[in-house]
Amino acid sequence: MIVGNTATVSLTIAEWREFAGFTVAEQDYIERALDIGLARCDAIHYWARGAGDRAMLREHCNAYHALPSLRKMLLSGPCAEDIDIFLAPLLCMAAFDLAQNRLESFGSFRFLYERLMGAAARPWLPSVFCAAAALPQIRPERRKILLRSLSEAAATAPAWSDDEPRFYPGHLDDAVA
């Protein structure tokens, strides 16, 4: 029992450290995205500072509209016949997030998406990240930085951890995580 608790605490601390290593802009974006994607609070009321913020937050909410169905698909495992039904909305969501210019690397993208979708999303994240980062709306110099941030180990991983994330940063008044 103590070993299990020690392992849990160690993983949580590792997740805290990973989050602390992100830029302030990445941390803010991840917190806001988790509030929106996990419906942890009235994100528009909490995050908006003016009319422009409200419009941008509504756009962010719209970008995440497919999250509940994507989570359900992950539970059963997307099959080959339905891959477009799974990947198309996931790619649109990832493209939206990367186009905001707030996530600087695969690490921050993975951190966010593991929490938005759960551990079952891990095998899908490198390919979705690459596809979204290579889209024309990402400036060429930024595209280069993003694609270089994906390590060979992450791109070619033979297996992924089934451990669910333990640390969910952000506004937690109405947390569901």
Domain boundaries, the chain: 2-155
10, amino acid identity: S
pLDDT at 23: 96
Beta-strand runs (E) in 5-138: none
Amino acid at 78: P
Averaged pLDDT for residues 28-52: 84
Q: Is the pTM of this model over 0.85?
A: yes
**Per-residue pLDDT at 1 exceeds 80:** no
Provide mean pLDDT across the span 125-129: 96
What is the distance between the alpha carbons of residues 129 and 109, in angstroms, rounded to a whole number? 8
pLDDT of residue 174: 43
Judged on CB neighbours under 10 Å (0-12, 13-18, 19+), 54 is middle
Confidence class for position 2, pLDDT limits 50, 70, 90: very low
Average pLDDT, the chain: 87
Looking at per-residue pLDDT, the higher value among 47 and 108 belongs to 108
> Over 70: is that where the pLDDT of 44 sits?
yes
**Residue 97 predicted with pLDDT over 70:** yes
Examine the pLDDT at 77 and tell me if it is beyond 90. Answer: no
Structural Rg of the chain based on CA atoms: 16
Cα separation of 170 and 176, whole Å?
12
The pLDDT score that the predictor gives to residue 171 is 55
Q: What are phi and psi of 160, to 5 degrees?
A: -130, 150
State residue 160's pLDDT score.
86
Contacts of 12 (CB under 8 A, 6+ apart): 166, 167
pLDDT at 3 over 90: no
Tally of CA atoms within 13 A in the half-sphere of 134 that contains its CB: 9
* Mean of pLDDT values over 5-21: 85
Q: Report the candidate in 126, 169, 173, 177 with the shortest Cα–Cα distance to residue 24.
A: 169
177 pLDDT tier (thresholds 50, 70, 90) = very low
How far out from the chain centre does Cα 50 lie?
25
